[in-house]
């Protein structure tokens, strides 16, 4: 059993596809152990994406992540980290496999609908960033 952090990004929330995306998780064996809609502050987004702080796209990424509310969730299941990444599809939606969340709901590499933790180590850090132990069940 594994846990991973998912974020439904502002573009997908604005499109009204929160339910459709959460259904992809539940229909593919991932349980929603915690979930919350929230508005990230600039400080939240900068801290969350700190690994990318030196990249050219960091400023645009932070601006985008605070452009509207997001939905943060803890997904739980067997191989949850890899399974979520598989359901999400490639970072650039133009390269995402048909039937993936990004192929179906994302516009471009900046507004790409979802985030998912990329390793067990990052999943633990990212889950703790958003949720206390008693919020996860």
Which residues are marked as active site?
115
Tell me the site size for ligand ATP, rule CB under 6 A.
10
Q: Which residue has the tokens 């995402």?
A: 96
Q: Could you tell me which stretch among 19-27, 39-47, 59-67, 113-121 binds Mg ion (CB under 5 A)?
A: 113-121
Determine the 3-state secondary structure of 46 from DSSP: helix
Q: Which residue among 5, 8, 61, 127 contacts ligand ATP (CB under 6 A)?
A: 61
Question: The sheet that has 2-8: what strands, in order across it?
Answer: 31-38, 70-77, 2-8, 114-116
CB under 5 to 8 A by kind: which of ligand ATP, Mg ion, none does 84 bind? none
- Residue 6, φ and ψ in degrees, nearest 5: -115, 140
Q: Which one, 44 or 118, has the nearer CB to ligand ATP?
A: 118
Q: Could you tell me which stretch among 12-20, 25-33, 38-46, 113-121 binds ligand ATP (CB under 6 A)?
A: 113-121
> Which residues are 114's β-sheet partners?
8
Determine the 3-state secondary structure of 30 from DSSP: coil
Q: Length of the chain in residues, anyone?
A: 137
Q: Which one, 40 or 137, has the nearer CB to ligand ATP?
A: 40
Nearest-angstrom CA–CA distance, 133 and 47: 20
CB under 5 to 8 A by kind: which of Mg ion, ligand ATP, none does 116 bind? ligand ATP
């Amino acid at each position: 059993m594994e846990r991973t952090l998912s974020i439904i990004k502002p573009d997908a929330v604005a499109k009204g596809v929160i339910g459709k995306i959460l259904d992809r998780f539940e229909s593919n064996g991932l349980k929603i152990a915690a979930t919350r809609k929230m508005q990230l502050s600039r400080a939240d987004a900068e801290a969350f994406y700190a690994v990318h702080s030196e990249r050219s796209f960091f400023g645009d990424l932070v601006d985008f992540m605070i452009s509207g509310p997001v939905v943060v969730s803890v997904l739980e299941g067997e191989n949850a980290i890899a399974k979520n990444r598989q359901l999400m599809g490639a970072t650039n939606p133009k390269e995402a496999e048909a039937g993936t969340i990004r192929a179906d709901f994302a516009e471009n590499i900046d507004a790409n609908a979802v985030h998912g933790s990329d390793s067990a180590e990052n999943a633990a850090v990212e889950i703790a960033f958003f949720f206390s132990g008693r919020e996860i069940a």
